[in-house]
Amino acid sequence: MDKKKKLLIIAHAPSDNTQKMFQAVISGASNQEIENVDVQALIPLETQPEDINSADAIILGTTENLGYMAGLVKDLFDRC
């Protein structure tokens, strides 16, 4: 059997609607019909470089503020 892949979902979801979208992505990625994928979901402040380095794929969710990504997501890129 193939080694499980790790999908990392990182999202800044400050509002009810963006939180619903974050949960929908987690739910879809965790669907029981998807095999050999471990899903890890984190907020930007919880994410560490080792989380990113150990992932086979990343889904990044961010709000758009004045044409740019949210500050917490930029902080994630600066730290990691």
State the pLDDT at residue 64: 84
Please choose, from the candidates 77, 55, 74, the residue with its C-alpha nearest in 3D space to the C-alpha of residue 64: 74
Report all structural domains of the chain as residue ranges with CATH numbers, in order of start: 5-79 (3.40.50.360)
Q: For residues 70 and 67, what is the distance between their CA atoms, to the nearest angstrom?
A: 9
State the pLDDT at residue 20: 97
Q: For residues 55 and 21, what is the distance between their CA atoms, to the nearest angstrom?
A: 21
Per-residue pLDDT 10s for the chain (80 aa) are: 578 999 999 999 999 999 999 999 999 999 999 999 999 999 999 999 999 999 999 999 998 878 888 889 999 999 99
